[in-house]
Structure 1
């Protein structure tokens, strides 16, 4: 007899316990054990939530190096079928050699489930016939469970599902009820219940302040400084939409600003300042001609501004000219800081409202949520659990499929909050998204290239850029270490059929087979693979945090970020007053619903998993474990540096602090 010591680890997830009968079969290179019922000293308590239990399995002969196990559980008359979450199984052979089988998923049926030994294997390494068969069967099942669907023409494809609970259990999260409850209770949490149905305009800014009860360090700063030009410009660098601004070397033909029109704070001409790299442009052309939403049967308004900014000798970024519509016309004046107080404030309000739409639909929804879903679905369809890329990327797909489904259900559906209360909700939303897709390029998703292409390498006080580039480099170093461990040559990358299918799926369903995006259709070198995987992890973690976490900070004080506007853009100067501005800002109900939604979206989930934290042990190799430790150490150093830097800032920039960044798009 040959005895194998088996330890089974049941997860700490809510309701992870099973009282069903559990069976195991060990499969080695030289043979296999019988299917064995696991009987331990704990009896019925052997598979309780958060526990591990020991068992013994014997075979007639040595079955050699273990390659996989088969697990199943069976209900009885007294114990109906339940769901069991298994973390892992550890097996020791008579020579005390340990084999780890990572699982980290629910088993909620009576079928046989196969799990590979934890050593990562590419398809070209997997020579055991049972291993290859198991690999093929796993991908066949995955292909049936994870199907592509089209949410709207011209947008990246999504997971096909009829509801959040119809998703495979392995990708469902434990706090879906918390999310739905919070969405319905947000108004109550912010003490705004009862105001959500009011359609009246605000009478004064003091009245707005009375409902602004939940404050943060940054929301208080925003409230005090939202009218200031320097703060208006600062938000293009470190607010929730830090990727729109670009250096201006030539004025657009539809923005005829001359030296006589602008005041450049004692500097030279526009041409001189452009040569010095001190002039910047923000162009909201994606919003041009979009028909704005109806809110409670009242037409709303949406501008498509052009904004010219100047870096002053004091290293402040200030707006010097604003045009609210793209096409020059007599009824489309250019506004300047020298105009009357409320002419200028009104123009900036239209810009900030346009920025809300550009941020939510392009920068946040499309460039993080929708792309993260594409990366997740392709990974689950094309990568078996034993593949090193699956092990590397699966932590960065956590909860994304379910949170995106809930977003489509609760935020952007016909009855969703965004559709009901944002000027760009409804049909206009799809127009903006489709236009945004047309400008979605690989280089714009790779932060170092994006910074260079926008010409913002030397803009002072650009903390998104500074922190983001450091985080990109740390992620790149980690990814390079892991992938170089498994891929020693470019030929090995080219020979990995699963890897090639993964990127082809992303190219087809995420970027709609458009070669102009620059997205690779295949990988031919290790370096190409490293760069793409770095982009995937950065998008799902740091970039999402940068454009998501600060939403309430910058939008909680509504005048700084109006989600809709009730009056059309001004067609002339000289008539705007405080009352004009208040009548233009969103009404009471729209305001408080927007505040509650931004508070919800900025709230950290109850089971937040920070970047670099890997509670699921998918990798078993010591070399990769050391790389993960080094990754965490580098993230800790960056976090400490950011915290130290922030102590000297009036407005701390914390959104790319690794301690605040989640591993995945999970909220």
Structure 2
């Protein structure tokens, strides 16, 4: 008899162990073993248990294993989470079978040996069958749904608890998320703020909300929020650094003239436009949408245009604001030389519009919804043994769960956005749909986006500096992995699963809109490398850039109002401190908005940084070494960013690799 040594690794997570009977069968190129009962399986989570399977003849090269679980009448029917199975053959070969999923039923589950295989590499009939069976099962578990017309498709689910177990939050994540939300809401309730519909009588009272939850940057914003330089700085290094662009020619609907604006050192607007020192934020994406009604009061949402000038000291300063898209006598252009409150209220309307554009376009659509599309397409179209599955699956962790929570608790009928944001309700979906129709592939790739916005040389643009370095590091890693598996363009073109995957993304994520520039198929290795780089960057780096600083810049509500309850001024000289306080959201709306960004900015204790891969999907030495090299380069970048930040009044930490989660998980 020939003896195969089988080592079973049970996951180190709550509920991972089992009291049930587990059976295994080994399948090789020449033969297969009998179904073997793994007696006395250690029930503790994190356990490593070794068994032997005897066979009369060699099985040849191992192709897959079959696992099944049966409960007996003396124990409850529970779930089991095996991480992997390692098998040492009589010939001394070591085979690793990655699993990383829950087994909770009585079905037979097949898992492939860890070496990545493309579909045309499959030579064994049972391997081909297992591949098809896996994808057929996944299509049932991960269906497509349409949340609303014009929006990217989402996973078909009836809330997060209906999702397959392996993509749900861990017990730790669930407990911490619930506790954070509960404590925040309890604090507001005990202070009598959550149901207080009065307006703020004094801005200083806002700081008493979550008085023990300040951050260094939130305190800095509270102190300097009225300063023009901080207003401008946030468009570069705040949570929405993707809208501003260089302006060489003024839009026709923004009639700012030389004699309106003050340019230091005797220059003028026309000259500075030619020199490339003028920058623009245009919120045309929000134009024409009616605002929500909050607590029975009509709200207001504008679509401003904002002009900036780069001073000789390299600081960016706002020089003109128009709050609506169409020039008119009742739509004045506000200037820094106007009265204090005229200029301040104009900036407040811009910051409120920025809240909407950031949350719905830059954050929700371009990271959360895109990551969901990438995740569902990956799970439906690529089997575990596919090299692209192994490369990308770590970057989908918790994404489908957090998005289901968002649909129910943020944008659903009773969600916080629906109840309290100017862009809540029906208009939210319409804004997202318009944003999708104008989104391009190039805008999702930071080197192309920076070039298209002509932002390559603006000083003190740390999002750009850190983001481009991250893109290059991710690209190098992805290039190494993909070129290891795909030696030619022909191999990319022959991979039917790969082509089906990108076609699925084009259809369900971008609704087959060709103007987006999203590939419909891959023809070359470089095309595949760039797209996979974009997927990883979007799910990790880009999400960190637009998510992690939300509380820093939104805790002080006047800096980023979730809504405004008075219309924008139609003439200058009509604004005062009293009208500003009446325009800002009332106490109850303010505190619910702050509570949400507090919750969405908390880092979980099971946070997995970009450079870590706790689940071993790759078993070959080359991709595993590439992962180590990837981590080393990110560690070096992290040190460089930390050293730079020591000299900054406002450290830019959001793209420090140690602060970037591997996936959209919050």
TM-score, with length taken from structure 2: 0.98
SS in 2 for 1:58: strand
> Could you tell me whether the CA contact under 8 Å between 1:267 and 1:273 is conserved in 2?
no
| Inter-partner Cα distance in structure 2 for 1:267 and 1:290 | 41
**Counterpart residue number, 1:627:** 626
| Inter-partner Cα distance in structure 2 for 1:191 and 1:623 | 55
Query: Structure 2 vs 1, CA of residues 89 and 282 (structure 1 numbering), >3 Å: closer, same or farther?
Result: same
**Counterpart residue number, 2:661:** 662
CA RMSD of aligned residues (A): 1.1
After superposition, residues 64-463 of structure 1 pair within 5 angstroms as 64-174=60-170, 175-188=173-186, 193-211=191-209, 213=211, 214-463=213-462
SS in 1 for 2:254: coil
SS in 2 for 1:337: coil
| Inter-partner Cα distance in structure 2 for 1:348 and 1:116 | 58
Residue 474 (structure 1) shift: 0.2
Residue 181 (structure 1) shift: 4.1
Instruction: Please give the per-residue CA displacement for 1:216-274, whole angstroms capped at 9, x wherever unaligned.
Output: 11001101110000000000000000000011111111110000000112252212111
**Counterpart residue number, 1:57:** 53
**Counterpart residue number, 2:16:** 16
Query: Structure 2 vs 1, CA of residues 192 and 280 (structure 1 numbering), >3 Å: closer, same or farther?
Result: farther
Residue 176 (structure 1) shift: 2.9
> Could you tell me whether the CA contact under 8 Å between 1:192 and 1:592 is conserved in 2?
no
Residue 312 (structure 1) shift: 0.6
Instruction: Please give the per-residue CA displacement for 1:14-68, whole angstroms capped at 9, x wherever unaligned.
Output: 11110100100000111000000012xxx35x24211110100000101111110
> Could you tell me whether the CA contact under 8 Å between 2:7 and 2:50 is conserved in 1?
yes
| Inter-partner Cα distance in structure 1 for 2:533 and 2:304 | 34
TM-score, with length taken from structure 1: 0.98
Instruction: Please give the per-residue CA displacement for 1:320-371, whole angstroms capped at 9, x wherever unaligned.
Output: 0000011111111000000000000000000000000000000000000000
SS in 1 for 2:561: coil
Q: How many correspondences in the alignment?
A: 663
| Inter-partner Cα distance in structure 2 for 1:192 and 1:359 | 31
| Inter-partner Cα distance in structure 2 for 1:13 and 1:7 | 18
> Could you tell me whether the CA contact under 8 Å between 1:187 and 1:592 is conserved in 2?
no
| Inter-partner Cα distance in structure 1 for 2:569 and 2:65 | 70
Structure 2: gaps spanning 5 or more residues: none
SS in 2 for 1:347: helix
> Could you tell me whether the CA contact under 8 Å between 1:192 and 1:211 is conserved in 2?
no
| Inter-partner Cα distance in structure 1 for 2:45 and 2:188 | 36
> Could you tell me whether the CA contact under 8 Å between 2:9 and 2:83 is conserved in 1?
yes
| Inter-partner Cα distance in structure 1 for 2:274 and 2:321 | 21
> Could you tell me whether the CA contact under 8 Å between 2:157 and 2:163 is conserved in 1?
yes
SS in 2 for 1:136: helix
> Could you tell me whether the CA contact under 8 Å between 2:543 and 2:664 is conserved in 1?
yes
| Inter-partner Cα distance in structure 2 for 1:51 and 1:265 | 70
